[in-house]
Amino acid sequence: MNLKINTALISVFYKDGLCEIVNKLNEFGVKIYSTGGTYDFIKNSGINVQTVESLTSYPSIFGGRVKTLHPKIFGGILFRRNNAKDTEEQIQYQVPPIDLVIVDLYPFEETLKQNASEDDLIEKIDIGGISLIRAAAKNFSDVLVVSSRKQYDCLKKILIEQQGETTLAQRKYFAAEAFNISSHYDTEIFKYLNQQHDINVFKQSIEQANQLRYGENPHQKATFFGNIDEVFSQLHGKEISYNNLLDIDSAINLINEFDEPTFAILKHNNACGCASHNDITEAWKLALQADPVSAFGGVIITNKTVDKSCAEEINKLFFEVIIAPDFTIDALNILQSKKNRIILQQKQFDIPQKQFRTILNGIVEQDRDNCTGGTDGLDFMTEKKPSEEQIRDLIFANKLVKHSKSNAIVLAKNRMLLASGIGQTSRVDSLKQAIEKAKNFDLSLADAVMASDAFFPFADCVQIACEAGISAVIQPGGSVRDKESVDYCNANDMIMVSTGIRHFRH
């Protein structure tokens, strides 16, 4: 049912875009009530406007904390026009109907990002505004609620095309938007207040949504929720897909482990190539050596600027995505030679410290695995101790195995990934897979190091590694049979180091 707007209540924090709306309402003879700064803005725009106090006969009190919380305001919004009893009381108590509510909320989230004091934040918790929004949204049968300046264009279009009238479908849609805004607002306040407590509930709210072409497979719908522009700028290429995003996430998490110039190549969320070298072009060449077959169509990431010579080498490979903190102009010109190639300039951003996923009929949440460890946390388990170069390789391999699907084994030397065995149901199978891959690409395992994401339940893995030429092993430790692996290493002049930290990744 179409309803004409006769009376409006307007009280907003942000005034941009409001002038056109009030002018249009004035054209249709709508009576406008307003508060404080919004009243002054409308009046100064030359539009006839009434104060809320003229309706309630009550002033704004407590520093503006109480302005609109009054029966004549909420009664005008909430009374049901088709309910005889409501109409009778509306007449009895002289409550004027309010058909349109334009109210936004104090900027709590924006103030929080400014590291404001708690007193300032508390004053940005809206009470009257959110109450008005909820009231108007509840009575969508009779009232249109506009709860964000982002909706002004849509409102203006409705006013012009329908001559100041609204349909039930439109009012219901705006009500849904209003509850979306109010629920997000309350969630952000709760999360702030719960920082010093531990009320164990799952509450997340993300307003930005990006519809993706499809999900993991073409028959699956998918959406990315979040502000992806905070993470990187897309300089070139096609639309980013669901699978691209998964690989990009894995790539960024991996590269963040390294301070020295490093290149990594990922496929299906796992590194198939990675190397650290003072010369970034050399780092690329070494990274590619590990598995040039898997690198085809992969995601490439580096933590240093890509220059012309580096881009010339990279451009020899077909790949989907490249991510770097910067690119020289010459490098961009080379890399942009492929129309669909996605080129991303990474930004500094805050990585969420909680991870969650849907399982069964609910959600599991965990802390992000921020433990990798350096030399301070190492326990030298064997009689033979590693050299400084071996320690660097062991830590390098441990960073890689942390970001590989379990069961995972990584083989490395001279800060270069030689091969990895990932996602196997047996740790022995993961090791055999890694050894076979290294052989396939003629990469020597002599004096290489091995990293395992979890402990060795038996000595079989260190025996196989030793027979392949591997000289040092890093693992979490903690097996009741650790001694068997240590004894084998001691008997065969091998090195074993434990970290005390497991890195399962499923």
What residues are annotated to the active site? Answer: 138, 268
- Which phi and psi angles does 274 have, rounded to 5°? -165, 140
Question: Considering only CA atoms, which of 296, 295, 324, 293 is closest in space to residue 310?
Answer: 324
CA distance 23 to 11: 16
What secondary structure, in 3-state letters, does 352-411 show?
Answer: CCEEEEEECCEEEEEECCCCCCCHHHCEECCCCCCCHHHHHHHHHHHHHHHCCCCCCEEE
Question: Considering only CA atoms, which of 335, 337, 282, 271 is closest in space to residue 304?
Answer: 282
Which helix (H) or strand (E) covers residue 413, if one does? Answer: strand 409-413
CA distance 178 to 210: 20
Which helix (H) or strand (E) covers residue 467, if one does? Answer: helix 460-468
CA distance 291 to 314: 14
CB 275 within 8 Å of CB 296: no
**Length of the chain measured in residues:** 506
CA distance 132 to 207: 21
CA distance 167 to 175: 12
CA distance 445 to 438: 7
Please report where in the chains the tokens 């509850």 appear, as a residue: 179
Tokens of 343: 């080129």
- Torsion sign over Cα 267, 270, 274, 276: positive
Q: Please state whether beta strands 416-421 and 409-413 pair in parallel, antiparallel, or not at all (unpaired).
A: antiparallel
3-state helix, strand, coil in the chain (%, to 5): 40, 20, 40
Instruction: Please tell me what DSSP assigns to residue 195.
Output: G
Instruction: Please tell me what DSSP assigns to residue 216.
Output: S
* DSSP codes, 66-125: BSS-SHHHHHHHHS-TT-HHHHHHHHHTT-----EEEE----HHHHHHTT--HHHHHHTS
- 292 conformational bin, left if phi > 0, alpha if psi -120 to 50, beta if neither: alpha
Instruction: Provide the CA 432 distance to its chain's centre, in angstroms.
Output: 36
CA distance 212 to 363: 23
